[in-house]
Chains A and B, each alone.
Chain A
Amino acid sequence: MDYLDYVQMTKGQRAAYKIKSFFTGIPGAIGNLFRIIAYYIKKFFVFVGTGIKNYAQRFAQGDIGTKLSFIIMGAGNVFHKQIGKGIIFLATEIAYFYFMAVFGMNYLSKLYSVGVQLDDAGTMADGVIGSQRAITTTNLLGVPTISNRDTLDNSNQVLLYSVLTMIITIAFFAVYIANTKSAFATQQTIKAGKKPIGFIAEMKTFLDERFHVTLLTLPVLLLMLFTVLPIIFTIFMAFTNYDKEHQPPGSLYRWVGFQNFADIFYSNPMKSETFGKILVWTLVWAVFATFTNYIFGIILALLINKKGIKAKGFWRTMFVVTAAVPQFVTLLLMRLLLGTNTGINGMLGTSFPFLDDFMWARVVVIIVNMWVGIPYTMLISSGLLMNIPEDLYESARIDGANAFQQFTKITFPYIFFVTTPYLITTFVGNINNFNVIFFLTGGGPSPSNYYQAGQTDLLVTWLYKLTVNSSDFNLASVIGILVFIICALGSLITFNMSKASKNEEEFS
């Protein structure tokens, strides 16, 4: 269909066409998604392939020093008279192997069974932890082995240190590759008749050509330790039976494969039903919370910014003030204000179940969320409204467009176009909206057929409850992974679709 076909259609046909193209766009967007994933997988393999090829080439063409540095790191640099750099490489290698020998290997070797587990009878018989004894262990395949150990391991430590060892190993591998590259590059420099760069001069590049290394090292290091490491650790937890009955050091956990995922999806009726209901509610909530705030926020901004309205600053500030008060304060206050016997009900002498009846509770959290969120949208769209070129409206007025038409044809498309990324982040933010639900209803009302959750709980507040109240760490991390997948898929698809719809923009 081209432009001519489109303009010849009637209004109804145009609407039908738009709706149709929206839904036919979904498979395309999903297909696109797979294409992106495939692209990155391909890119990864190309990266590894060229890496290996270059590695082999460096070895083949390297001189003695370079070849030696494939085994003894830094040898090539020392051989080419870059003593300082060579020593640093060598020290890294020694430090790494020392670390592996005294620490890393020990834990990696235990990762297979996540720590050595005494059988139940053994633990109960003497209850002693830390004395040398013969311990029977079963590994993933259920094969028992007997070995002499002097400590009863802590699964948490084994898993955590193993992940740490893996991260350090990957980092070491990167340094190792850099070492071979550096040796070969210096060899080439000498071969070309130039003098290789000195240690001090090289250090100076960290303030200039390689300033990004200086800037990023510390933040990335801490990110690795306190964000990436815990996330990997948590992902591993999803494949263990780390729940309230398996709390190290008293009782260790072990690998259970995809059992937790199966539990949540079908094999455990209570958990899977809870999950299904919460998932549906989470999505419903995210859609409503995002769009109510968005539309009414824009309308509020329009009202305040309407020509002829005085004291714009005053109106804006009144709303900004409510947004500025910390959410835990306003939301806890709302909880009491809307309590069945307190607040408004107390003042009026009624007992209306704002938060105790589940349908009402769901409506109320969405409304209160509007109270929380509309000022933010107003604040953001106010700035954007001022950016819309005035002549657009002028020509629209000359063509006889009324205020409503101006809104639907100019204001809304413009703002929608500019704020699409914001809309996506808000949607993801609402899927993860802990505050509104937790402080307002606490997830309640909680019927007994929900597993550790209530009828207004979102996936994230369920995750919190599973972690804090019931110590079901394995289930909690399964939920975390699923939330991640939902958010990632959701934003990738909407991003793709908005890209596609931008081409269509020419039509309307």
Chain B
Amino acid sequence: MTNTKSSSDMQTGYAARRKAINTLVYVILAIMVVIWIFPIVWLVIQSLRGEPGISTSYFFPKQWTFDNYIRLFVEYDDQGNALAWSEMRFPFAQWFINTLVIAIFSCIISTLFILMVSYALSRLRFKSRKTFLNLGLILGMFPGFMSMAATYNIMEILGLKQQLFALVIVYSAGAGLGYQVSKGFFDTIPRSLDEAAKIDGATRNQIFWQIILPLSKPIIVYTALTTFIGPWTDYIFVSYFMKDNQMNYTVACGLYSMLGNQTISDYFTTFCAGAVLIAIPITILFVIMQRYYVAGVTGGAVKG
């Protein structure tokens, strides 16, 4: 039956079919991208909308403006004087600084802790190592904010009630448990390196600082980025720890508070503007670290 068709016919038939399938894939991908990007585009458009209110009956605003962005930083009283941050209804700039400070501190402390713990559990052999690994696994299975009320009590006793420093402690004190990803990375560095250094008379301390850490730039970057991003996106702890102390909110909690029943219709577009400002840097950071993210999550699985 196929003898009647020349081979070039078959080839063009195959190519046509292939082209049709590829076109179908393009169409599916395009539709999916539209679905996925639509809310993001809507966010940006809403942040530039001049008309107030929660939503409009049309997609593109009638009035384009940057006022929503300006309003995040400056607010005027009835006389037209600029208000101090502490007098603003929503002191976004203050939240931004709070979050930045918390993020920097917890990034430094957490990264250090995570690298220390994962190095010890990955490359050093000691008696209670297995116990540590198992305990880490068990502790990790408690819901993260289950003991929030207890932690709050501890902070109260330490005199850190509603203080920013309490959040630094919360974000970084538990860092020792986040060792899995970087441990997976350390596991892949050949042990012969350590052996060679040991023969040359290096202590384990020197091996850690001078041999392993310089080789671990990707995982250091990954750890630092994730711990830096954490405070920008956490809502739970901030909302419980700061209660109504608005000046000590971070951006996530602050922006959420804008959508309260009383303020949502006045401040929805402002919320969008703030969300865009936060989302841009975080998106850039995430896109940078995506390859580390993949390597981290799949761990040693990709090795083979």
Task: Name A residues whose Cβ lies closer than 8 Å to a Cβ of B.
Answer: 156-157, 160, 204, 207-212, 214-216, 218-220, 222-223, 225-231, 233-234, 237, 300, 303-304, 306, 308-309, 315, 317-330, 332-334, 336-337, 339, 341-343, 346-347, 349, 371, 375, 379-380, 382-384, 387, 418-419, 421-422, 428, 432, 434-435, 438-439, 460, 463-464, 467-468, 473, 476-477, 480, 483-484, 487-488, 491
CA distance A384 to B120 in the complex (A): 29
Q: Would you call B150 and A227 a contact (CB within 8 A)? A: no
What distance in Å separates the Cβ of B52 from its nearest Cβ neighbour in chain A?
Answer: 13
Q: A309-B26, A321-B40, A326-B279 are in contact. Are A336 and B268 (CB under 8 A)?
A: yes
Q: B residues 96-149 with Cβ under 8 Å of A?
A: 113, 116-117, 119-120, 124, 126, 129, 132, 138-139, 141-149
Q: Would you call A326 and B278 a contact (CB within 8 A)? A: yes
Size bracket, chain B contacts: 35 or more
What distance in Å separates the Cβ of A355 from its nearest Cβ neighbour in chain B?
Answer: 14
Among A219, A333, A346, A473: residue with most chain B CB under 10 A: A219
Main secondary structure of the interface of A (DSSP, over half): helix
Q: Would you call B149 and A303 a contact (CB within 8 A)? A: no
Per-residue 0/1 for B265-282: is the Cβ within 8 Å of any A Cβ (1 yes, 0 no)? 000100110010011001
Q: A308-B18, A418-B301 are in contact. Are A320 and B286 (CB under 8 A)?
A: yes
Q: Would you call B233 and A327 a contact (CB within 8 A)? A: yes
CA distance A266 to B164 in the complex (A): 42
Q: Which listed residue (A319, A380, A382, A491) contacts B36, Cβ 8 A?
A: A319
A384 neighbours in B (Cβ, 8 Å): 298, 301-302
11 A/B residue pairs, CB under 8 Å, sorted by A: A216-B116, A227-B174, A230-B150, A234-B150, A308-B22, A319-B32, A322-B37, A324-B282, A329-B275, A371-B35, A384-B301
CA distance A156 to B156 in the complex (A): 11
Q: Which listed residue (A219, A300, A315, A467) contacts B175, Cβ 8 A?
A: A219
Q: Would you call A342 and B55 a contact (CB within 8 A)? A: yes
B149 neighbours in A (Cβ, 8 Å): 234, 237, 467, 473, 476
Q: A160-B157, A227-B174, A491-B141 are in contact. Are A325 and B40 (CB under 8 A)?
A: yes
Q: Would you call B177 and A223 a contact (CB within 8 A)? A: yes
Q: Would you call A379 and B176 a contact (CB within 8 A)? A: no
Q: Would you call B117 and A215 a contact (CB within 8 A)? A: yes
What distance in Å separates the Cβ of B10 from its nearest Cβ neighbour in chain A?
Answer: 16
Q: Would you call A309 and B22 a contact (CB within 8 A)? A: yes
B294 at the interface (CB under 8 A from A): yes
CA distance A386 to B43 in the complex (A): 35
A233 neighbours in B (Cβ, 8 Å): 147, 150, 153
